[in-house]
Structure 1
Amino acid sequence: MNILLLGGSGLIGSRLSKALLAAGHNLTLLSRSAGNAADYTYIQADFAALQSADDWLPHLAGIDIVINAVGIFAESARQKFADIHIAAPQALFAACELTGVRRVIQVSALGAAPNAPTAYWRSKGIADASLAASSLDWTIIRPSLIYAPEGASCRVFCSLVTLPCIANLSGAANVQPVHIDDLITLLVKLTVQALAIKQVINAIGPEAMPLSHWWQSLRLAMGLAPAFSIPLAPWLQNMAARCLPSALLTTDSFTMLRSGNSADSQLFATLLGRAPQPALPTQQDKTEVKRHALLGWLLPLLQISVALVWLCTAAVCLWAWPRAESYALLGKTGIPSAWQPLLFYGSVAMDSLFGVLCLLGKGWRMQLYLVLAYSIIIACKLPEFLWHPFGPLLKNLPILALLMLFDQLAYLKRPEK
């Protein structure tokens, strides 16, 4: 079967593409950049720019089924709900009617409706309503919160629940998270069999529960003891959403959690042929999930700690430590008195700059070289700091190790050329 999969690089699409190939289907992916995988046929195009039926017509030739798994959770300067969730899908549905592509599977979201309380849900709901009003053999899948170990939102949740104490969001309604494996199983099954035509399927877990209960269950599944929870009032939730640098923890996120994310799972279970599995780490992957979860907040904590070392060092040198003693130490390293003020203020400026770069996650190698140079010079010129009982110079060793770690992590994140 020839399938056009839209959103093949996303959380759902990346898993679904592998599963569809394994099931023996011919897969066409749409991407802004040309792909080179031999297993796929690629269409190089910008999904959001295809806003008329004529734009889509050339891409539907020979296609049997269209699966739209494109979605964004938050808007940006380049990506808008109106383009990605509404205009492009509506144009796609119209083009499918013109070309005779009958089967369209739309991956939406639980809670989507044209009159929903958030822009994300409303935009998804408007597209769903357009598809439901068409003459196509459509199926709309509305997943709840998705548990997927590699998913960005799931990793945020898992990191939050490994903290020493977790927030109990006051006013949050029940959630019914779904395991990614169940969602992919359903989508593959729908492509093989003409099931649930002109139906909306709520893809959800086996039971509805308070969010705090799911979080505690995640802890237990990772092998952690239950955590102490702190009630977080709605106004504090909104304040946290404005202060936290996360596209996932927004005021709309908390609004959706307060609105609820649960439904009847009977149709989903019937189509799966079994009860949905719990949205939790399995015994096989719990160690890996726990490791990623802990690093999710430990690495930022270490990053902030290194930044504070630089910034506090600059502040102490500039305002707290006697200036004459600083100049005397520079003199002991062989710096002429005429150069001491320049080097003093230069080092304060450098420390301040590196503190800011730490917070931005940049400049790790420059910091590494500077700390190494400082350490060598001080060890040679001021050996008393090397043998000092408080170990002021030896403490540079863990700093150097941390800088090496951050430098290598930054290197791994660079895109391949």
Structure 2
Amino acid sequence: MPAVVLRPSLVLGPGAASSRWLRCLSPWPLIPLLDNRARLQPLHVDDLCAAVLALLRHWPEQPCSLALVGPEAMTQSQLLDRLRAAQGWGAGRYWVLPRPLTTLGVALGERFGWRALNRQTLALARRDNLAAPEPLASTCGHRCLPLEARLHDWPSSADSVHLALQPLLLALLVTIWLGTALACLGPGFDWGLRILAEAGIAGWPARLAVLAGALCDALLGLGLLLSRWRRRALQAQIFLMLGYTALVTWLLPHYWFDPFQGVGKNLVLLPVSLWLLWLQPAYARSRP
């Protein structure tokens, strides 16, 4: 049997990694883009399946490489507008990230293993990915439908908002933990000593406790950045917040009446952390 290489363009539909990232971006009122000049010809996963079936029915007699592309070339913003329209939203507003910010983001993505932001995704975002659909059509008779014709039950606006909230909440938790660590090592160090003194802890044990707490906070923040450690970091921060809340309630109950609610905010952070933790196994299984 002659070998056939099928080269699909960006495939959209349930379960696709690229679709996940695009759905995550689609709800935002201002959508950041790495580039908005390159064009691509996206197709729906149903067309990918239909093309494979058509090839099985009409297998080429000679080895060949066939591009599988959608009928319309579009930029990233135009693609996102299609997805937004399918979810009942109007055209989006877009912001192409400045080069220094893009460079920083790519460096962080390479360091922490982010699939949506790295050198490969940047290179793909900056070059056209176009091909003619005629060779495939002449070989097996299949032509991809326009994207709008496939976007009926997918994507769902509720699912897209759900996806968009996950990285936002993770970023907020990282900011909280790393910010707390810096505060404890800097201007908040003496404040931490005063709080411990109220609980009857002073001298070198108090200093050691503040430093250990800052180190723990920093490790939790860094753990959330690394996908392979994120689940354990979320578990650790949940237990830490529960323990911290219990100790404050027992030793320093008057902090519950602090106007800034430093302890009461844990009642919000705990369910957020639990929600993110529950998402981790499903997210991990979806990764190839």
Indicate whether the TM-score tops 0.5: yes
TM range (shorter): 0.7 to 0.9
Deviations 1:228-267 (A, max 9, x none): 1234577876665445444455555554555422333345
TM-score by length of 2: 0.78
Equivalent AA in structure 2 for residue 373 of structure 1: G
Deviations 1:258-286 (A, max 9, x none): 54223333454566757522335622222
Decide which of 161, 176, 184 is 1:317's aligned counterpart.
184
Q: CA RMSD in A?
A: 3.3
Decide which of 321, 332, 350 is 2:216's aligned counterpart.
350
Decide whether aligned partners of structure 1 residues 191 and 305 sit closer, same or farther in structure 2, where only a CA change above 3 A counts.
same
What's the offset of the Cα at 1:375?
0.8
2:48 alignment counterpart: 183
2:58 alignment counterpart: 193
The question of whether the paired residues in 1 share the 8 Å contact of 2:223 and 2:233 is answered with: yes
- C-alpha distance in 1 between matches for 2:181 and 2:62: 66
* Between structures 1 and 2, the one with greater strand share: 1
- C-alpha distance in 2 between matches for 1:198 and 1:318: 65
Q: SS at 2:144's partner residue? A: coil
* Between structures 1 and 2, the one with greater helix share: 2
Decide whether aligned partners of structure 1 residues 388 and 144 sit closer, same or farther in structure 2, where only a CA change above 3 A counts.
same
Equivalent AA in structure 1 for residue 39 of structure 2: N
- C-alpha distance in 2 between matches for 1:322 and 1:189: 68
- C-alpha distance in 1 between matches for 2:256 and 2:172: 23
Decide which of 93, 97, 100 is 1:228's aligned counterpart.
93
1:96 alignment counterpart: none
Decide whether aligned partners of structure 1 residues 235 and 251 sit closer, same or farther in structure 2, where only a CA change above 3 A counts.
farther
Decide which of 372, 381, 398 is 2:251's aligned counterpart.
381
The question of whether the paired residues in 2 share the 8 Å contact of 1:179 and 1:279 is answered with: yes
- C-alpha distance in 2 between matches for 1:198 and 1:378: 71
2:4 alignment counterpart: 105
Equivalent AA in structure 2 for residue 353 of structure 1: L
1:408 alignment counterpart: 278
| Larger Cα-atom Rg | 1
Decide whether aligned partners of structure 1 residues 397 and 189 sit closer, same or farther in structure 2, where only a CA change above 3 A counts.
same
- C-alpha distance in 1 between matches for 2:142 and 2:234: 51
What's the offset of the Cα at 1:316?
2.3
| Aligned ranges 1:121-160 → 2 under 5 Å | 141-160=6-25
What's the offset of the Cα at 1:185?
1.0
2:166 alignment counterpart: 299
- C-alpha distance in 1 between matches for 2:46 and 2:136: 13
- What are the ranges of 5 or more consecutive residues in structure 2 without an aligned counterpart? none
How many percent of aligned residue pairs carry the same amino acid?
Answer: 26
2:206 alignment counterpart: 340
- C-alpha distance in 2 between matches for 1:204 and 1:241: 28
The question of whether the paired residues in 1 share the 8 Å contact of 2:106 and 2:117 is answered with: yes
The question of whether the paired residues in 1 share the 8 Å contact of 2:184 and 2:211 is answered with: no
1:277 alignment counterpart: 145
- C-alpha distance in 1 between matches for 2:41 and 2:224: 39
Deviations 1:284-314 (A, max 9, x none): 2221xx4454444432221221122222223
The question of whether the paired residues in 2 share the 8 Å contact of 1:156 and 1:293 is answered with: no
1:210 alignment counterpart: 75
Decide whether aligned partners of structure 1 residues 236 and 381 sit closer, same or farther in structure 2, where only a CA change above 3 A counts.
closer
| Aligned ranges 1:55-134 → 2 under 5 Å | 102-106=1-5
What's the offset of the Cα at 1:178?
1.7
The question of whether the paired residues in 1 share the 8 Å contact of 2:48 and 2:68 is answered with: yes
Moved more, 271-280 or 223-232: 271-280
Equivalent AA in structure 1 for residue 238 of structure 2: L
